[in-house]
Chain A
Amino acid sequence: MNNGSEMRRIVTAWVIVSVIGDLLWWFLVGPHIPPGNMTESAHWNQFDFNILAITALPVVFMVWIWMGYAIVKWRDKPGVPDPVGGEAAKASRGVQAGWITITSIVVVSAAIYGTVALIGDHGSGGGEGPNPVWAPQGGVAANTAAIQGKATWSPAGDQPLVVQVIAQQWKFSYRYPAFGGMETNRLLLPVNTEVVFDVTSLDVIHDFWAYQLSVKADANPGVNNVAFADTKQQGQFMVRCDELCGIWHGAMFNSGRILSKTAFMAWATKTEAQNAQNTKYLPPFAWTYTPDANGASGGLYPDGNVTPYSPYATYGAKQPAS
């Protein structure tokens, strides 16, 4: 056995297979990897997944090629001396050190790359509470305007659209402060628009997951979890709850749609008028709503005590000062 020539053979095969594999992945598989291209962050998430994939593929190929070569070339054959016995069977420190070093660098680099990319504009916030590390241009100002009752949006402008996602067992509702604070059971969005999602819950922990938008944000009672999406492509997307939240968790999904700006405006204006009678009964737009309603006539709250039904224990009411 010639260690040098065999190593050259293995490395050559590995380089060729890796280059072909990475190219095939990038051009044939990559464009179909979720979450797709419906939003800017979805596009960059897809890019990031593909970067990680083409980084990991050569590692997989090296393991397979090495194993395949060993099975074919170094297997025991009748009448032939053991090919890897004696000195040849000893471990190669150089190979071991090289393999550990290279794979360690790959893993650490992937972790750093993924973290840095997702914490910035490749991500959507969505796990960082009310003040994400990164926010798109105008996102914070739009959200501030919403809580001040000054939210606006028009097809001609470029201001972000604020949408509140309200989860409860077992349904999502959507509130649009720029359209009179109306609440709907459908999530419709305009294309080419920065969307600010304010995600909260009225009872237990849910999770707002619109994977085609690359948005996934926990919906916690009493917490405003902010996420962003810059819509790029019209079409339908799914919204699912991704936190096991009770018996009907599996039924907690609906579909949403990204429309043209004019179509969205037409829908929003029409729905605002249709819902006006009910919207006036809704509480003022707030980032969180008191989840302490116990249902009819009272019930058990997490402290284990029976708490009476109280005026502030209703949707939208302010917590009393403690």
Chain B
Amino acid sequence: MTMSGRLGTVLGLFVVAVGLIIWVLMGLLTPGTPEGVVNFVGSSPAGQPVNMTIQTVGSIGYGNHPTWVSYLVKTPQGKWIQDTTWQLPANTQINVTVLQYDSGSPLRNQEFGQVTGTTGNVATLNGTSYSSYNSNAGNGVGHTFTVPSLGLSVPLVGVNGNLSLCGVAPCSVKQPHNTITFSFKTPAKTGEYHWQCFVPCGLGYLYGNGGPMSTQGFMGGFLDVVQQ
């Protein structure tokens, strides 16, 4: 091979290598949209409250982990899907309805029995307003919806475990459940805000915090707050 040919080959390989490195770096540095985001931006006119309906089910009933507990969300198009990253408009009131289909237990930390960070620091349980729930009484607390960085936390009161509970999602409102509603305002600052359930409901895992508690798409996720 001639000198110019060799030089061309070396330069060509160098350019390819640099291109690959840049491509990999850009992939790492660009905050891409997470897979499976449910987009609520635009589901209401700008500045108007956004309505969101979610449900918690004791066992998802399908997929690789049919026995795992999970959240589901109803898309603005009305379809129930198992997804825990929700895109919401910034500085907007979000009206949340939770259909809670799971049984409950005492909280590991009763702090999460208190409703915080919602409008008026209250929620409603089957139409009755509450600001705190004693998890050592009644059916206990099944799950919580908590966004630590926003100071938002709502205990989702459990259903009587002796009833015939829903075991395959999405559950029907004809099945035993509690309806919890609350409103909160998204922050003006855009970004991803982690949320999770603070009931260690990963049955069969150490301290109850493995499995569905440690897997994106089940009992934790993100509020992806963006400008509308």
Contacts and interface: CB of A to CB of B under 8 A. Distances in A.
Interface in A271-301: 274-275, 277-278, 281-283, 291, 293-301
A143 interface: no
Contact of B149 (A173, A254, A306): A254
Interface in B43-97: 58, 69
A168 B107 CA distance: 12
A183 B114 CA distance: 10
Contact of B114 (A275, A300, A301): A275
Given A277-B131, A281-B132, A315-B109, A296 B203 contact: yes
A185 B198 CA distance: 13
A166 B111 CA distance: 11
A246 B213 CA distance: 10
Contact of A300 (B146, B204, B213): B204
Contacts of A171: 146, 148, 198
A249 to B, nearest CB: 11
Given A169-B209, A246-B214, A315 B108 contact: yes
Contacts of A95: none
Nearest to B204: A299
Nearest to A298: B203
A203 B148 contact: no
B203 to A, nearest CB: 6
Contacts of B118: none
Task: Indicate the member of B69, B113, B199, B206 with the most A CB atoms within 10 Å.
Answer: B206
A180 B136 CA distance: 20
Question: Main SS of chain A's interface residues?
Answer: loop
B121 interface: yes
Contacts, number: 130
A274 B125 CA distance: 20
A281 B135 contact: yes
Given A169-B209, A277-B131, A277-B132, A297 B105 contact: yes
A238 interface: no
A309 interface: yes
A157 interface: no
A295 B111 contact: no
B220 interface: yes
Contacts of A299: 202-208
A252 B194 CA distance: 10
Contact of B148 (A204, A251, A316): A251
A34 B114 CA distance: 37
A247 interface: yes
Contacts of A254: 148-149
Contacts of A315: 106-110
Contact of B194 (A251, A275, A291, A297): A251
B196 interface: yes
Contacts of A248: 194, 196, 214, 220
